[in-house]
Structure 1
């Protein structure tokens, strides 16, 4: 059976983008980015964006699509990406989905629902109820209106309890009903998911080296330019902006900013691995000593059996 989409996932600095590029060139495939930071047009250095040559040689989707001043949700990504995938597969276009944003990957594979909007006043009222009566009070309310959702978490998951109660209050539908409407591509298409892993110490060495190279390539100048813009809430989360802006404001030395950026990137990589390691559909590849070319060859071999 033909593989419709190959997923390459895993922590940052494991060689995903380069391997996906090599694989796409050899297979005549297009790449779907699953990286929430690559969607922004302005930052290039601090997001480790693929080079212009790579973007010119292989068609990449969901890179450089919006400004850092625009908000973009995982649901926006899901809607646009699912539509594109359906269109490209109808044309028999080989696809490689590559990235380390777990929510993007999960949304594509398993679906996501838009649900109701938000009501900050209602959220605050529910938070006050929890402070006054305890979390269990809200949890019992949720059990009455949506026992299926309540069974998925404990009374201590206050944020999720409040969101579930908010959805019901605004829509009249339990959040579990919305979840049943979510549809992903796993099961719809023939999909293979590969995860790249690297020994922790070696991964941290790669991260430290990459951050050092970012500073050499002009990360400080790039962040200085970003600070003149009205950054969206999602863009503000790009690793490097907070750390380097601290240096530019005189709160940190350049060395301190660099070390903080390394630390935060290492912690991010740890969270990425924890997220993906829970997904038993992923076939892990030890990427320690393999070049991008060897990694792409290994994936091809696995697919061809």
Structure 2
């Protein structure tokens, strides 16, 4: 008999079927869905993120979607705080929390906790940005090398953003970024029983599904969505979203040439998004394969979602059934 509340986590690469499976399991288990996708937190970024439809969200309660404007930053610390609060609330109402997504850092933050590093400091970040502009990245790297040689060598001189973040941690806390710190507790330490399900799909099928998904995005109005977003001062994370950065970069190059931009977006841009999404899926797959404790489910092409949900429910979630 289970004494700890179960938290179900469904992970895997983009387009692997996480959303459809989570909705089916939520129906069967009396669950509510908590997104673990770093792009779904942004309002107005709907088509390019393959956000669950309003119809799907009306059927099953979804959390972690449309939390902030795309002009704002949203850190893994903020996500963890939000997700844990939501998990407590869902459990208190006798429901099953189902965490769904492909953002590895978000999932790991829940399962293993986080080191108590300070959050972003606007003043210090602005100062470092100014120094970067005036003195160049090499000077910042040399500065980190003096403060914390180990962390500097781990990062390397070319990853400017991580160099700046390491300097920011030191300037805010006075602690070397490389020093180990006691992490905040993970789900198990907080009294929950996490069950992590990973979706494994045939690579060729997954890539074809990605291509089909990109085509659907264009038909639904991805370019109009990106045009609207291009008028905003997007946060760094929002700008880097796959499906957005490929088109936004081209929009800057063809500023004032709307017809040319749209032509290129519909041809080269479409292909770039497909390639970038396939590479992204491969990185997600590599990440999750290295994580411990994931129970992998092989989902063959053509097998209905209901059949996969039934297998997961009967074979992996016996105590909940």
Deviation at 1:256, TM superposition (A): 1.1
Hey, what's the Cα distance between the residues in 1 that align with 2:85 and 2:17?
28
TM superposition score normalised by structure 1: 0.84
Q: Compared with structure 1, are the counterparts of its residues 284 and 116 closer, same or farther at alpha carbon in structure 2 (3 Å cutoff)?
A: same
Q: Compared with structure 1, are the counterparts of its residues 177 and 90 closer, same or farther at alpha carbon in structure 2 (3 Å cutoff)?
A: farther
Deviation at 1:216, TM superposition (A): 1.4
Report the count of equivalent residues.
292
Q: Compared with structure 1, are the counterparts of its residues 131 and 177 closer, same or farther at alpha carbon in structure 2 (3 Å cutoff)?
A: closer
- 2:227 is the counterpart of 1:217: no
* Cα offsets for 1:274-305 (capped at 9, x unmatched): 11111021111112323221221121111117
* Cα offsets for 1:60-117 (capped at 9, x unmatched): 0011222222221111111121122223323332110000011111111111234264
TM superposition score normalised by structure 2: 0.80
Alignment of 1:1-305 (within 5 A): 1-2=1-2, 4-112=6-114, 113-115=116-118, 117=120, 119-120=124-125, 127-128=138-139, 130=141, 138=146, 142=148, 150=150, 155-158=153-156, 163-164=165-166, 166-175=168-177, 179-188=181-190, 189-245=192-248, 246=250, 250=260, 252-289=264-301, 290-301=303-314, 302-304=316-318
Hey, what's the Cα distance between the residues in 1 that align with 2:58 and 2:219?
25
**3-state SS of 2:148 partner:** helix
Q: Compared with structure 1, are the counterparts of its residues 67 and 33 closer, same or farther at alpha carbon in structure 2 (3 Å cutoff)?
A: same
**3-state SS of 2:118 partner:** coil
Which range moved further: 74-83 or 166-175?
A: 166-175
Hey, what's the Cα distance between the residues in 2 that align with 1:87 and 1:235?
28
Unpaired runs of 5+ residues, structure 2, are: 252-257
Contact 2:118 2:172 in 1 (8 A): no
Hey, what's the Cα distance between the residues in 1 that align with 2:284 and 2:215?
21
Contact 2:111 2:194 in 1 (8 A): no
RMSD value over aligned CA atoms? Answer: 2.8
Contact 1:142 1:165 in 2 (8 A): no
